[in-house]
Amino acid sequence: MYKYDNYDQQMVDTRVEEFRDQAKRRLEGKITEDQFKPLRLMNGLYLQLHAYMLRVAIPYGTLNGAQMHALADIADKYDRGYGHFTTRQNIQYNWIKLEEAGDLLADLAKVEMHAIQTSGNCIRNISSDHFAGAARDELVDPRPYAELLRQWSSFHPEFMYLPRKFKIAVIAAETDRAAMRLHDIGIQIVKNDSGEIGASFYVGGGMGRTPMIAPQIRDFVPLDQLVTYAEACLRVYNRYGRRDNKYKARIKILVHEMGAEEYTRQVEEEFAHMLGQGVEPPLAEIERLRPYFADPAFVDGPKTCDHSDPDFALWVDRNTNAHKHDSYVSAVISLKPVGGIPGDATAEQMHLMADLAKEYSFDELRVMHTQNIVLPHVAISDLHALWTKLEAAGLGSPNLDTIEDIIACPGLDYCSLANARSIPLAQKISERFAASGKTGELGQLKLKISGCINACGHHHAGHIGILGVDKKGVENYQLSLGGSEAEDVALAKITGRGFDEAGVINAVETVTDVYLGAREDGERFLDTYRRIGMTPFKEALYD
Amino acid sequence: MTDLDTRPTAVQFRFRDDEMADHGTVTFDACCEQTNATAVRIEPGDDARALLPFLDRLALIEVNFPVFGDGRGYSSARLLREAGYTGELRAVGDVGIDQLLNMRRCGFDAFAPAEPLDESDAQAAFNRWPNVYQNTADGRRMITQLRHD
């Protein structure tokens, strides 16, 4: 994985000093809270319901054991012994004191980490495929390009005060594991007819209160023009994105209102101009970055393992992904124990995951946007030993991509924007299905819960989505069906009137029963929904 | 026509050796219509590219920041520099310590903050970053180039 050179280290160290200086000037009254707020946000510090929350960037979701250990130490030293992995492959801490934030950032910098631009109206942390560099189906490893964009977007002087936040995802496989087309810019690394590698650009996707799927605006940008093209996309947005209404300020609204064709025309015009401005890093830089992401020293070994223990066999079946080396798999550590808080991990668990990464996965871990952790390169011969240790620590839940693998935002338990609680709902739904034993029978079923219309829990992209709203002071939940964040991207549709908490749990069970009754061979919930449509589900829910 | 004239004394930081333009600044619309104006002020919503035909006669372009969170002026500044404008480019309005360096990097070479800034905080801000990740209008070579020198 990437390792900072002196330049990168100097940048994060300088940022720590700058933040300390900003906090000091705030305390001295030299800047107002209004002036300080965007500055602290650009260092990941939010004021939440009970305390400050700090979000740490995990660029493209990749980290090593030492970094995971440091995240655990931070949980112990500055928080209450746990952290929360997020849908943008980051981690956030919920109980931070403002006066300690500078020291926390300094601790991060010691392990080549930071909280730069994890909030604010700027370019956020770049996300990517959590199986990058390991997946059998990828064209190339997308992370060198993500790293190039990380550096370009860090402290970009023109784009620190955009109309709204800006999220970029980079993938390099036909299978989309990063919700690429639901980002402000989604980039897919592709090969053209001449066999050259380049980037396909999708612009103007997003969730939030007005979900949109990004249209493709350029099928192939040569690699030595990647940054320039991104810069052109950003400049058109910075100049013309709406600033009169924060709910209409994301680039998806600009692309929608202007029309993808006109937006593209303006980007192409800007791009043609910018090609002469020398904004592109030299191609040698991509060549420098690639070796950091080279394959570790894989060793040929057994390609299968003993499946006689049914619990182990189930975990292998559900929680591992095909690796490009046939003696290895990528193994998913579920942070969704039945009845647990999705994405939460204790400091102890983080230490253990770091140790296991060192022992079994070339010291590398990934954060998934579904709030789980990946050990990307595990030898098949080591799987049983790994699973045994995970089981002992309560980290062996065999539920990847099942109805228990719920994405949930922090909701009203933490968040100042939320209208309803998400976490207790996720806990109760996973308990219900674990108890009924239907989880396995239901197969792949992505359930996503947001506690308000800002959609941090990705409910628009859930096969089943739940949105919490406030109905005259009472929590109410709207159910939606048919969304997908993957390569078959789609936005979910609302079933009808909402439910109370107990009612929505029953409603989820009802729609899964409709699926089980109607499915044909090999169909996932989503496939059946697409074939039979909303009506049978509505009838079961409301008639 | 309203004379926007920013008093030369309002300019707190200036990175130019030439004499400061001492004449009335006109609005963007007036500049586009009036062929002899030599100083103009543009607002966030004005299209800086419309000034390109007049760059030869302009000695001062003020870019107004009514609120610091509106970042359109950064793009305006870079566009003007990329088009070859070499006159004074002055940031006026809601300009704070924490915006100075980004503005400088986008091509501003004069600053007239609505509220005067602490001199030593400002000097620290201008000099804080030893290196940069982007090529912009300040002529500094980016880290990704320095690595391959």
- Write out pLDDT tens, residues B55-83: 999 999 999 999 999 999 999 999 999 99
The values of phi and psi at residue B83, to 5°, are -85, 0
Query: Which residues fall within 8 angstroms of residue B80, CB to CB, at 6 or more apart?
Result: B48, B51, B55, B61, B89, B107
Question: Measured between CB atoms, does A416 come within 8 Å of chain B?
Answer: no
Composition of chain B by helix, strand, coil, percent to 5: 35, 15, 50
Task: Check if the beta carbon of residue A490 is closer than 8 Å to that of residue A534.
Answer: no
Total Cβ atoms within 10 A of residue A28: 10
- The CA-based angle A108-A111-A114, given to 5 degrees, is 40
Distance CA A444, CA A370 (A): 13
Residues A185 and A278 in one domain: yes
Closest CA–CA distance from residue A68 to any residue of chain B (Å): 27
Within-domain flag for A301: no
DSSP A81-134: SEEEE-TTS-EEEEEE-GGGHHHHHHHHHHTT-B-TTSSSSSB---EE-TTTTT
Distance CA A365, CA A343 (A): 15
Please tell me which of the candidates B105, B128, B148 has its beta carbon nearest to residue A282: B148
Pairwise CB contact (< 8 Å): A7 & B72: no
Residues A52 and A95 in one domain: yes
Question: Measured between CB atoms, does B130 come within 8 Å of chain A?
Answer: yes
Residue window 94-113, chain B: list those with CB within 8 Å of chain A.
Answer: 96-98, 101-103, 105-106
Is A535 exposed, middle or buried, given 0-12, 13-18 or 19+ CB atoms closer than 10 A?
A: exposed
Query: What is the residue range of A33's domain?
Result: 6-110
Distance CA A271, CA A199 (A): 15
Q: Quick one: pLDDT at residue B3? A: 47
Residue B1, pLDDT above cutoff 80: no
Task: Check if the beta carbon of residue B100 is closer than 8 Å to that of residue B111.
Answer: yes
Distance CA B127, CA A11 (A): 13
Residues A98 and A69 in one domain: yes
Residue from A517, A520, A513 nearest A541 by CA: A513
Question: Measured between CB atoms, does B114 come within 8 Å of chain A?
Answer: no
Helix (H) or strand (E) holding A439: helix A439-442
Q: Which residues of A touch B142 (CB under 8 A)?
A: 281
Q: Which residues of A touch B71 (CB under 8 A)?
A: 121, 158-162, 238
Q: Quick one: pLDDT at residue A217? A: 98
Question: Measured between CB atoms, does B11 come within 8 Å of chain A?
Answer: no
Residues A267 and A147 in one domain: yes
Residues A171 and A64 in one domain: no
Query: Which residues fall within 8 angstroms of residue A141, CB to CB, at 6 or more apart?
Result: A132, A133, A172, A290, A293
Residues A438 and A497 in one domain: yes
Which residue type sits at A34? D
Pairwise CB contact (< 8 Å): B148 & A284: yes
Residue window 9-68, chain A: list those with CB within 8 Å of chain B.
Answer: 10-11, 14, 17-18, 21-22, 25, 30-31, 35, 38-39
Q: What is the CATH number of the domain that holds A244?
A: 3.30.413.10
Residues A283 and A173 in one domain: yes
Residue window 220-249, chain A: list those with CB within 8 Å of chain B.
Answer: 235, 238-239, 243
Question: Measured between CB atoms, does A298 come within 8 Å of chain B?
Answer: no
Total Cβ atoms within 10 A of residue A352: 21
Task: Check if the beta carbon of residue A374 is closer than 8 Å to that of residue A112.
Answer: no
Query: Which residues fall within 8 angstroms of residue A359, CB to CB, at 6 or more apart?
Result: none
Which among A361, A392, A423 is the end of a domain? A392
Distance CA A174, CA A180 (A): 11
Question: Measured between CB atoms, does A155 come within 8 Å of chain B?
Answer: yes
Helix (H) or strand (E) holding A53: strand A52-56
Q: What is the CATH number of the domain that holds A328?
A: 3.30.70.3340
Pairwise CB contact (< 8 Å): B121 & A25: yes
Residues A161 and A275 in one domain: yes
Q: Quick one: pLDDT at residue B37? A: 85
Question: Measured between CB atoms, does A422 come within 8 Å of chain B?
Answer: no
Closest CA–CA distance from residue B4 to any residue of chain A (Å): 24
Which among A149, A154, A161 is the top mutation candidate for probing chain B, defined by the most B β-carbons within 10 Å of its own β-carbon? A161
Distance CA A106, CA A114 (A): 8
Per-residue pLDDT of chain A (543 residues; tens, 9 = 90+): 999 999 999 999 999 999 999 999 988 999 998 999 999 999 999 888 788 899 999 999 999 999 999 999 999 999 999 999 999 999 999 999 988 999 999 999 999 999 999 999 999 999 999 999 999 999 999 999 999 999 999 999 999 999 999 999 999 999 999 999 999 999 999 999 999 999 999 999 999 999 999 999 999 999 999 999 999 999 999 999 999 999 999 999 999 999 999 999 999 999 999 999 999 999 999 999 999 999 999 999 999 999 999 999 999 999 999 999 999 999 999 999 999 999 999 999 999 999 999 999 999 999 999 999 999 999 999 999 999 999 999 999 999 999 999 999 989 888 888 999 999 999 999 999 999 999 999 999 999 999 999 999 999 999 999 999 999 999 999 999 999 999 999 999 999 999 999 999 999 999 999 999 999 999 999 999 999 999 999 999 998
A328: tokens are 């290895």
Task: Check if the beta carbon of residue A328 is closer than 8 Å to that of residue A364.
Answer: no
Query: Which residues fall within 8 angstroms of residue B46, CB to CB, at 6 or more apart?
Result: B28, B76
Within-domain flag for A125: no
DSSP A222-233: EGGGHHHHHHHH
Residues A484 and A447 in one domain: yes
Pairwise CB contact (< 8 Å): B118 & A285: no
Which among A392, A424, A445 is the end of a domain? A392
B28: tokens are 């963007």
Task: Check if the beta carbon of residue A1 is closer than 8 Å to that of residue A364.
Answer: yes
How many structural domains does chain A have?
A: 4
Which among B143, B145, B146 is the top mutation candidate for probing chain A, defined by the most A β-carbons within 10 Å of its own β-carbon? B143
Question: Measured between CB atoms, does B147 come within 8 Å of chain A?
Answer: yes
Within-domain flag for A121: no
Pick the CATH number of B8-146 from 3.40.50, 3.90.1570, 3.30.1120, 1.20.140: 3.40.50
pLDDT band at B29 (very low <50, low <70, confident <90, very high): confident
Q: For A49-88, b where at least 16 C-beta lie within 10 A, e where not — what string?
A: eebbbbbbbbbbbbbbbbbbbbbbebbeebbeebbbbbbb
Closest CA–CA distance from residue B74 to any residue of chain A (Å): 5
Closest CA–CA distance from residue A225 to any residue of chain B (Å): 14
Residues A226 and A251 in one domain: yes
Q: Quick one: pLDDT at residue A50? A: 80
Residue from A488, A444, A477, A479 nearest A460 by CA: A479
The alpha carbons of chain A give a radius of gyration, in whole angstroms, of 23
Within-domain flag for A39: yes
Task: Check if the beta carbon of residue A497 is closer than 8 Å to that of residue A485.
Answer: no
Residue from A62, A133, A111 nearest A91 by CA: A62
A497: tokens are 């009137």
A387: tokens are 């699973």
What interface predicted TM-score (ipTM) does this complex get?
0.95
Quote the mean pLDDT of chain B: 91
Residues A279 and A186 in one domain: yes
pLDDT band at B4 (very low <50, low <70, confident <90, very high): low
Q: Where are the domains of chain B?
A: 8-146
Residues A154 and A267 in one domain: yes
Q: List C-alpha distances in Å: A198 to A237, A333, A461.
A: 23, 33, 28
